[in-house]
Structure 1
Amino acid sequence: MKKLAVLCLLALNAGVLLAQEHQMSKNYQAPADPLVQQKLSQWQDLKFGLFMHWGTYSQWGVVESWSICPEDEGWTQRKGPYGETYNGYVKAYENLQTTFNPTRFNPEKWVAAAKRAGMKYVVFTTKHHDGFSMFDTKQTDYKITSAKTPFSANPRSNVTKEIFNAFRKENFMIGAYFSKPDWHSPDYWWPYFPPKDRNVNYDPAMHPDKWQKFKDFTYNQISELMTDYGKVDILWLDGGWVRPKSTIDTAVDWQRGIKFNQDIDMPRIAAMGRAKQPGLIVVDRTVAGEFENYTTPEQQVPGVPLDHPWETCITMGDSWSYVPNDHYKSAQQIVQLLVKIVSRGGNLLLNIGPGPDGDWDPVAYSRLAQVSGWMETNGEGIYGSQSVAPYSTGDIFYTKAKNSNTLYAFLMAGKDSTVKFEPTVTIKLNNIKAVKGVSLLGQKQKLKYKLKGDELIVSLPAPIQHNTGYQYAATFKITY
């Protein structure tokens, strides 16, 4: 993942971000395949997904992959007895494979918690930049199912398959995160040269045979994921520096550092993926064009709706990967992030990093349980909704139900997490001349109201004014 880039943001209170710079593509090209269009529309209605970064690095409690990248020593420093030399550190890092044994791995427990919280899809890191495969690939022995890895003896050692199967049984859409760069592959970081930064460490134009080997390796690994792991809905490709040189945006700092053409033949990969998984959504992050079917702003919420499908990926804690005693966002922060994102027409992909034992921090379960109570009452204003002007006014955020004359206005709670009701609430409307009814989700009674121009003034009876049971946000339902 990548570090926060500055856009027009709403307040996130996101905390420390252990990541690299990421910016959205400026141009969007809608997919031409009708099956992809249909799947993309279904995905947009889901609104709330689970992201998981997990690998051998969880044993050290360090940021995923980046500590072995020479370019990034400044913000993810190598520590401990192995940090004296770069090569010594990388050797120790890769040797984590021989001790990785997450015996508490139980994906059904994750599914239950995510489902209760109202999540509808999952994206799992099948392989991050360090190249360690969390699936039973035949292309390398640097994988969780290798005999070198203690967990390989476990009947559930192919964790990607187990996770996908468990979530699919509960009707989640399935997303496979896959890193295009592979810092373990000798055909990406060729041992003949030392690695200099995140990019390939040789010129592919001067060594086309070696680059072709890497392209085939990448294609074959993705083909395995598209063939042997059941129905897959999303191929979520990270590592946007692996891209055709013609697509580099020199206005973006990290893209200016891409010196070579790193074209891995996305048309070939996407065609294969969709032949095996019809309607597959492909997300080639930051590489604008036909293979970035939705964009992925990271740790941020655009201040205005975007004109295309999008998803923001945000950490529940401060880190993408497991860190002991991480600081987790409150349930209020999570709910209000979800409301803000959905009011702008996007999806929230919330990340939780499993620990080295194969389970989440208990705090993560607690947060999802708290969110679940709110979603049970207010979810109808989230799922299958669209952004609608004026999007937000003060502490009120708006959504509209698809194909319906129904609006939802979310009144946010303050710092103490409880919604404070005044005798009247003023809700801004946009070009609505008549209102049929107003209610508060969680209450059966209809509310009295007046429509004055573009302002809907809702009167709240005393029992609602004094009701302290509304946490995080209260939702007014308006039909017109």
Structure 2
Amino acid sequence: MSFKKLTLAFSLLTGAGTLPALAQEQGIHQQSSQYEAPTDPLVKQKLEKWQDQKFGLIIHWGLYAVPGIIESWQICSEDWIERDSTVAYEDYKKWYWGLSKDFNPVKFNPEQWASVAKKAGMRYLVFTTKHHDGFNMFDTKQSDFKITSGPFKDNPRSNVAKYVFDAFRKEGFMIGAYFSKPDWHSQNFWWPKYATPNRNVNYDIKKYPWRWNQYKQFTYNQISELMHDYGSMDILWLDGGWVRPKETVNAEVRSWGAPIPEFSQDVDMPRIATMARQAQPGLIMVDRTVHGPYENYQTPEQRVPAHKIDNPWESCLTLANNWGYVPNDTYKSPTKVIHSLVEVVAKGGSLLLGVGPKPDGTLDNEAVTRLTAIGKWLEVNGAAIYNTRATDKYQDGSTYFTQGRKGARYAIACLPEDKAAPATIEWTGNAPKKGSKMTLLQTGKTVKWTRSGDKVRVTLPTALAQQAGAYPALAFAFSAE
């Protein structure tokens, strides 16, 4: 079947967002409940700096952008994944991997991405150097399956990751490299001798340790390239938590429902970490869901935790329905993202928002519009978000609380979308000091407040009620008791 016909067949099969929605549920990374704090002073220092940033961008960009389908997962043979039943599985994999001959992002403009992200109020980046499909968005010397070997190879910016990192670094972002521990294109992970029944390595590592050792060295070498050849790095963000030492597979991990083999898929994280931190002192390592010394912060995916979490963490959410670019995707409103950001920060976390560039290398206009709107809110209200920490009482209904380092307390009232601001806002707890001033960050002016028992009532300026939906949330600064 031709490329165009096959793409159309999958579009008709999945519909707008149907398969990605399923994939987000089944391919989702859970959150481990255990946390082990780092002991390296440099890591602790960088982790503290990262906790000040609060709002980051994760970019998924790879072969999957060409037909506009979910990232990597359609080449995984698990029963929750739907494909056209008239196309043989092996033929589908060949077609998918063959997209490397069509991926030619001639309008690649990382400076535009960085500029939009900065205007959105984002402060750190996580860029996908390689997803599970094994296609490398950097000029690795370990494989020819990379952006620098296809039609984009003669472009002066063909080493995509380098220019992405450089562009965001120039805008003052902390820099993170996403790297998938599983590599489904590698013959040392999915050996062509056997079928590929699921997301795991498809041969018995105990029977063929030499092959797995080759894969471990391949993984080490690729991460070494990223740590030594791409400038200053702050975060190594490792995805694919099913690739893990068997001793870390406990009852909690089994309850997540992902297929778990009876052998260890250990890539030797101590060796990787030692090398990476020699090259990048203080590097934050995020070995997702593999609780222990190399999961320096936790990463609940496509959800906000129900309660405050005291250790470092981030919620990984998408701006649209998908991590990568899917045509006609449904975007979240700026108000919804702002409310999620407020809730996440109040509960002690950071928000990592996913945006996928188009196959030509540009951002979708709708994504730019919504990110810009989020940034306009943060430009005025950022003091209640950046450099803050959680309070003991972090929420009262739709009002959330944060605290600054110098004793400032913030109340952030999330307002209903498309409705005008009310005349007054009330909350319980986190009361201002008697006789102190309260400032509305939206205007920079003081507002009147009263207290009755444990309840605080704030009177808003009448001008705020004139335009429905103009204020996703109102933030108040005060000195708490």
Q: Does 1:78 align with 2:83?
A: yes
- How much does 1:392 deviate? 1.4
Which residue number corresponds to residue 456 of structure 2?
456
Structure 1 distance, partners of 2:361, 2:346, is 35
Percent identity reads 50
Q: Does 1:44 align with 2:51?
A: yes
Structure 2 distance, partners of 1:314, 1:187, is 32
Q: Does 1:164 align with 2:165?
A: yes
Structure 2 distance, partners of 1:39, 1:233, is 8
Structure 1 distance, partners of 2:83, 2:435, is 61
Structure 2 distance, partners of 1:431, 1:477, is 11
Structure 2 distance, partners of 1:316, 1:124, is 15
Structure 1 distance, partners of 2:370, 2:287, is 31
Which residue number corresponds to residue 295 of structure 1?
298
- How much does 1:450 deviate? 2.4
Which residue number corresponds to residue 405 of structure 1?
407
- How much does 1:412 deviate? 1.4
Which residue number corresponds to residue 65 of structure 2?
58
Q: Does 1:445 align with 2:445?
A: yes
Task: For 2:32, give the aligned amino acid.
Answer: S
Deviation string for 1:433-480 (max 9, x for gaps)? 646211211324322222333222223354455575842111111124
SS at match of 2:31: coil
Task: For 1:235, give the aligned amino acid.
Answer: L
Cα–Cα, structure 1 residues 224 and 364, in superposed 2: closer, same or farther, change >3 Å? same
CA contact (8 A) 1:419 1:472 kept: no
CA contact (8 A) 1:250 1:256 kept: no
Deviation string for 1:227-250 (max 9, x for gaps)? 000001000000011100000123
Task: For 1:438, give the aligned amino acid.
Answer: M
- How much does 1:430 deviate? 4.1
SS at match of 1:282: strand
Structure 1 distance, partners of 2:463, 2:421, is 12
- How much does 1:196 deviate? 1.3
SS at match of 2:409: strand
Structure 2 distance, partners of 1:348, 1:63, is 22
Structure 1 distance, partners of 2:307, 2:53, is 20
Q: How many residues were matched structurally? A: 457
Deviation string for 1:353-381 (max 9, x for gaps)? 11111111110000011112111111110
Which residue number corresponds to residue 126 of structure 2?
123
- How much does 1:95 deviate? 0.7
Structure 2 distance, partners of 1:22, 1:127, is 17
- How much does 1:18 deviate? 3.4
Which residue number corresponds to residue 366 of structure 1?
369
Cα root mean square deviation, aligned: 1.8
Which residue number corresponds to residue 380 of structure 2?
377
Task: For 1:321, give the aligned amino acid.
Answer: G
Cα–Cα, structure 1 residues 459 and 129, in superposed 2: closer, same or farther, change >3 Å? same
Superposition TM-score, scaled by structure 1 size: 0.92
SS at match of 1:296: coil
Structure 2 distance, partners of 1:253, 1:341, is 23
CA contact (8 A) 2:417 2:469 kept: no
Which residue number corresponds to residue 3 of structure 1?
none
Residue pairs, 1:413-424, within 5 angstroms: 413-416=415-418, 418-422=419-423, 424=424
CA contact (8 A) 2:440 2:476 kept: yes
- How much does 1:21 deviate? 3.2
Deviates more, 1:432-441 or 1:314-323: 432-441
Task: For 2:83, give the aligned amino acid.
Answer: R
Q: Does 1:150 align with 2:151?
A: yes
- How much does 1:37 deviate? 0.3
- How much does 1:425 deviate? 2.4
Residue pairs, 1:66-105, within 5 angstroms: 66-71=73-78, 73-75=79-81, 77-79=82-84, 84-105=87-108
Which residue number corresponds to residue 27 of structure 1?
34
Task: For 1:167, give the aligned amino acid.
Answer: F
SS at match of 2:50: helix
Cα–Cα, structure 1 residues 303 and 434, in superposed 2: closer, same or farther, change >3 Å? farther
- How much does 1:255 deviate? 4.8
Q: Does 1:472 align with 2:476?
A: no
Which residue number corresponds to residue 273 of structure 2?
270
Which residue number corresponds to residue 232 of structure 1?
233
Residue pairs, 1:236-315, within 5 angstroms: 236-251=237-252, 252-255=255-258, 257-315=260-318
Structure 2 distance, partners of 1:455, 1:319, is 41
Task: For 1:78, give the aligned amino acid.
Answer: R
Deviation string for 1:34-64 (max 9, x for gaps)? 0000000000110000011110111111111
Deviation string for 1:46-91 (max 9, x for gaps)? 00000111101111111111111111x533x2349xx511111111
SS at match of 2:211: helix
CA contact (8 A) 1:304 1:344 kept: yes
Which residue number corresponds to residue 6 of structure 1?
none
- How much does 1:118 deviate? 0.4
Superposition TM-score, scaled by structure 2 size: 0.91
Deviates more, 1:339-348 or 1:451-460: 451-460
Alignment gaps of 5+ in structure 1: 1-14
Structure 1 distance, partners of 2:346, 2:338, is 12
Structure 2 distance, partners of 1:231, 1:87, is 40
Deviates more, 1:259-268 or 1:274-283: 259-268
Structure 1 distance, partners of 2:264, 2:55, is 36
CA contact (8 A) 2:103 2:152 kept: yes
CA contact (8 A) 2:237 2:286 kept: yes
SS at match of 1:153: coil
Structure 2 distance, partners of 1:431, 1:111, is 39
Structure 2 distance, partners of 1:433, 1:112, is 40
Q: Does 1:348 align with 2:351?
A: yes
Structure 2 distance, partners of 1:291, 1:131, is 22
Cα–Cα, structure 1 residues 435 and 101, in superposed 2: closer, same or farther, change >3 Å? farther
Structure 2 distance, partners of 1:203, 1:102, is 39
CA contact (8 A) 2:23 2:73 kept: no
Task: For 1:16, give the aligned amino acid.
Answer: A
CA contact (8 A) 1:392 1:398 kept: yes
Q: Does 1:396 align with 2:399?
A: yes
Cα–Cα, structure 1 residues 419 and 410, in superposed 2: closer, same or farther, change >3 Å? farther
SS at match of 1:18: helix
Structure 2 distance, partners of 1:319, 1:279, is 32
Cα–Cα, structure 1 residues 419 and 119, in superposed 2: closer, same or farther, change >3 Å? farther
